[in-house]
Structure 1
Amino acid sequence: MQPVLVGREKETQLLQKYLESDKSEFIAVYGRRRVGKTFFIRQVVGKNAVFSFSGMETASLVTQLENFQLALQKKIGECSKPTTWLSAFDQLERYLDSLGSKKKIVFIDELPWLDTARSLFVGALEHFWNSFASDRNDIKLIVCGSATSWMIDKLICNRGGLHNRVTHQIEIAPFTLNEAEQYFKIYGFGYRRKEIAECYMAFGGVPYYYSLMNVDESVAQNIDRLVFSRIGELRLEFQNLYRSLFKQSAGHEAVIEALATKKMGMTRKEILDTTGLNNNKAFSTVLTELEQCGFTREYTPIGNTKRDVLIQLIDPFTLFHFYFESENKNQDDHFWTNSLRSPLFKTWSGLAFEMLCLNHVAQMKNALGISGVQSRVCSWRTHKNKVKGAQIDLLIDRADQTINLCEMKFSKTEYEITKSDCENFEKKIEAFISETNTKKSVMFTMVTSFGLKHNKYSGFVQKELTLDDLF
């Protein structure tokens, strides 16, 4: 079966609009590694690009320029090897001029890899756009890269010659559950929503990971084969993920490892104390880059000040790694399958389901009928000892004077609220109202896999969402 572009409807419409405009366009496409940026561009552009070129990971300047030469030779025949990026872009300009007045799409992939030490690549790109392309109406320059922080800092927010030169930017985000379901249906997987959710809880919405799955295997079999088998294609993905995005990844990995132990997140000081990293500009850069690449988010817990901002891990694959890959001490090829009934799986699935909900708050708001209401997503934990362990992992603090206090429970059947559960929920709500002094209406909301088993305690729940609502 030929590869099919799943989802990306809005992004496709935008890119087509930019390509059909009557002026030159500088379009930056970015997103995390493996999310399908290149595939998206090629599916939309098709064979219409007059020149395509991709940077090479860890390659030297000489090798990158030779690679450029080979790409250009496919279009114009034999040409000299450029010795600098300035001369490389000069060759490209002369080739583009030879094509007349028709629209010309130029696609440069993995742009950050071209910015090697002392390569002067960014300056040459600036010169190409500012002195050649920008004053015309026929150049459509599409650039792409997985190193999101580089794309944002060096391109989109550039303070030098490329300042405000990028005319449009398109972020390619991980799939939602709905898009994951579309993918599995199109490619003939017979997975039910529970299985798709478990796959998402492990792999996140990363299309490349799904592309490695076999249609005739269960989710569990696929995970064992890809991650825990000695020749698994994703066995080393976690290590490669961070090292491919950040030139000095040790600090990023240390922060991520610390955050994986605290589901609500940690303050800057708590991260510093845990990791032993220095409190300096480099540390601030690490935090910024992790957020830009979609691994973390920053938020202020309700009732706290901006100085108490928390940094929270929101990447499912990273959480999965720390709970399972790092625990496979005996190199068990079937570690996932053998863990499905273990306490480890129960703990992880609860946390992963909460992360799943956090990454689908837009869908939750839609199901609650509040998609048009301005709100912020945060959490809360008690600062007093009266209510032991009182914390709320997901709050939707709404501008219409209402707070959805969300309790999330992952289970294989309908969730049955017990007397103990009900008492615990009541104490949490009382502690929350008392400590925050909120004047807003508090609406207790439960999100479960398959709904609630109705009994004498289930009436305590004011709003109920299920896994289906996340799709």
Structure 2
Amino acid sequence: MCEIIGRKNEIAELKRYYNSGRAEFVAIYGRRRVGKTFLINEVLHDNMVFHHTGLSPYDRQRKVSLKDQLQNFYFSLIRHGMEGVAQPKSWMEAFFMLERFLETSDNGSRQVVFIDELPWMDTARSGFLTALEAFWNGWGNTRHNLMLIVCGSATSWMLDNLINNKGGLYGRLTGEIKLYPFTLKECEDFYHSRNIQMSRYNIVQAYMILGGIPFYMNFFNPSLSLAQNIDALFFSRNAKLGDEFNRLFNSIFDQAEECMEIIRILGKRHAGYTRQELAEKAKMNANGGFTKLLKALIGSDFIIKYVPFGASNREEHYKLKDSFCWFWLHFKEDKDIKQEDYWQHHLKESEITAWRDIAFEEVCLQHIRQIKQALQIGGISSMESAPDFVTFWE
């Protein structure tokens, strides 16, 4: 196992579930690119008997079908040693194959089954959830040496269909772990582990752009300055994150365009909008479907719901909290920048200064607990909110 930055509590939880001596059904969720798969692989890879990853729905040519997902699952079974079976035609049949595979390979030791990006496998009218329910309720929960770990970036799906399930999977999870982005301290440890020399001032600057997402940080080149790295990630001809915004939302949300439109509107005003204001600006009906979109965005940690300072509880606002999205909206989507070294040569412009003020405040809001501890007021109850005076290009 290589060095894992932070995640001490999560590692301890995984090991506790592993050593429990009973059947475990654990769900791990969090923002896409936050490091869920890496954590599970590093902690439990040597004990996995089956590992499968759903096919990404982000395909510009066509939609990924039930047949595609079943074929991919079938190939995973073959890779892990299953022989003499035909490709399943349904999820019920596929999970039955998994049961048979686990039974034949059972030597009495802990069997870790890891299914990654579970929400991607639940295509329309596929019967996936029914089959998963039958697999666990009818077989898995009686296997004392089975540890089923499911993971997903579509947090709203994980919450609705597993964690808060009201049907056959109600109360069936034995554990859940939500993985959060790195803190500033964890970012400092990460850069140090990668031999990336960066002052704390620049670590904060990087956080204002990448938001403590390990996947993005891992692209940093130690031989480049911070500004050069940002140009390489966002503005160069083959920028590593050149299409990340679209990929991010299309891989998580069924209604990706509607979700991106809400994010674009919230990116105009730091303090955000009320539900009615947001619906009007998005030209959407403020009905149950709109509520579901907001819930999905909150669950995936892109936006938050809060009450502005001095306002009544009936004046709840929604605001954008994701640092990557703030940066993307203001310097990628709203600009057609052709200059490949743009960030290096425009750092002192008023537009970047205005963004930096807001981005730094967002970093502070995300580190309230650490700030209070540093000020030795950690035991004092407090409420925080964004000021209601900054608007971008509205």
TM-score bracket for the superposition, by shorter chain length = over 0.9
Q: Confirm or deny that 1:17 pairs with 2:13.
A: no
Which of 185, 188, 191 is equivalent to 2:192? 185
Cα deviation, 1:368-403, whole Å, max 9, x if unaligned, reads 21223333223565xxxxxxx6x9xxxxxxxxxxxx
What is the CA distance between 1:135 and its match in structure 2?
2.5
Q: How does 1:229-268 map to 2 (within 5 A)?
A: 229-268=236-275
User: Equivalences for 1:72-471 in 2 at 5 Å?
Assistant: 72-74=77-79, 75-98=81-104, 99-379=106-386
Shift of 1:360: 0.5
| Pairwise CA distance, 1:93 | 1.0
Which stretches in structure 2 are left out of the alignment for 5+ residues?
Answer: 58-63
Shift in Å, 1:102:
2.2
> Quick one: distance in 1 between partners of 2:193 and 2:77?
36
Q: Which has the larger radius of gyration?
A: 1
Is structure 2 residue 72 aligned with structure 1 residue 67? Answer: yes
TM-score using structure 1 length = 0.79
- Contact preservation (8 Å) 1:69, 1:79: no
Q: Match of 1:245, SS?
A: coil
Residue 432 (structure 1) aligns with: none
Q: Give 3-state SS (helix, strand or coil) of 2:385's partner.
A: strand
Q: Does 1:43 align with 2:39?
A: no
Q: Which residue of 2 aligns with 1:26?
A: 25
Q: Distance in 2 between matches of 1:82 and 1:327?
A: 46
Call closer, same or farther: CA 1:122–1:221 in 2, change over 3 Å: same
Q: Which amino acid aligns with 2:271?
A: M
Q: Mean alpha-carbon deviation: is it higher for 325-334 or for 213-222? A: 325-334
Aligned partner of residue 50 in structure 1, secondary structure: strand
**RMSD after superposition:** 1.5
Aligned to 1:439: none
Give the SS at the match of 1:378.
Answer: coil
Structure 1 gaps of 5+ residues are 382-388, 392-471
| 1:91-120 Cα shifts (integer Å, max 9, x gaps) | 111122221432211000110010011110
Deviation at 1:79, TM superposition (A): 2.5
- Residue pair 2:23, 2:144 contacting (<8 A) in 1 also: yes
Please state whether the residue corresponding to 1:46 is helix, strand or coil.
Answer: helix
Match of 1:468 in 2: none
1:126 maps to amino acid: E
The CA deviation at 1:327 is 4.1
Measure, in 1, the Cα distance between the counterparts of 2:141 and 2:384: 41
Percent of aligned positions that are identical: 40
In structure 2, C-alpha distance between the alignment counterparts of 1:340 and 1:12, rounded to whole Å: 39
Shift of 1:3: 5.5
Letter aligned with residue 36 of structure 1: G
Moved more, 156-165 or 365-374: 365-374
Paired with 2:124 and 2:337, the residues of 1 have a C-alpha distance of 41
Q: Which amino acid letter does the alignment assign opposite residue 4 of structure 2?
A: L
- 2:309 and 2:384 in contact (8 A); partners too: no
Give the paired residue count.
Answer: 382
1:298/1:312 contact within 8 Å kept: yes
- 1:253 deviates by 1.2
More strand by share: 1
**DSSP 3-state at the match of 1:375:** coil
- Contact 2:307–2:315 (Cα < 8 Å) also in 1: yes
Gap change, CA 1:326 and 1:188, over 3 Å in 2? same
Counterpart amino acid of residue 216 in structure 1: S
TM-score normalised by structure 2 residue count: 0.94
Letter in structure 2 aligned against 1:20: N
Comparing both chains, which one has the higher relative contact order based on Cα–Cα distances under 8 Å and sequence gaps of 6 or more? 2
Alpha-carbon spacing, 1:184–1:379, altered in 2? closer, same or farther (3 Å): closer
User: What is the CA deviation profile of residues 253-273 of structure 1, one whole-angstrom value per residue up to 9, with x for unaligned ones?
Assistant: 111111111111211122122
- Output the CA distance in 1 between the equivalents of 2:74 and 2:55: 13
Conserved? CA contact 1:324–1:336, under 8 Å: no
Compute the displacement of 1:158 (Å): 0.8
The answer for the alignment partner of 1:422 in structure 2 is none
Task: Give the C-alpha shift of residue 303 in structure 1.
Answer: 2.9
Partners of 2:234 and 2:240 within 8 A in 1: yes
User: What residue identity is the alignment partner of 1:65?
Assistant: L
Cα separation, partners in 2 of 1:296 and 1:186, compared to 1, 3 Å? same
